[in-house]
Amino acid sequence: KDKIKVDLKEISGKGKTGYVICKVDRDGVYTKLKSGWFNEISSQESNTSESRSHTLSGVKGCLISIRFEGKSVGSGFEYEVMLRQ
């Protein structure tokens, strides 16, 4: 299939965390498809069950790369990632 659904769910952590979803083609070229934030504003930091869902197209024959980057010094994070066709 040429589409895939990516579900990201916060398991633990209260710090601001960014994510980037890319596809990687057979030549090793990365293409950014989606990006976003968890705990972007102070009111979200108390909510430990934030989730994001993205449907990606044009991914047939590509690898999917998801990078999480914590923006709060000393704050850890844990996320669950699920990919579905």
Mean pLDDT along residues 26-45? 85
Q: Which long-range contacts (CB under 8 A, 24 or more apart) does 40-49 make?
A: 40/16, 45/14, 45/15, 46/14, 48/10, 48/11, 48/12, 48/13, 48/14, 49/9, 49/10
pTM of the model: 0.86
Per-residue model confidence (pLDDT) at position 71: 81
pLDDT > 70: percent of the chain: 91
pLDDT, tens only, 36-64: 998 877 655 556 578 999 999 999 999 99
- Evaluate if residue 34 carries a pLDDT over 60: yes
The predicted pLDDT at position 14 comes to: 76
Between 36 and 71, residue with greater pLDDT = 36
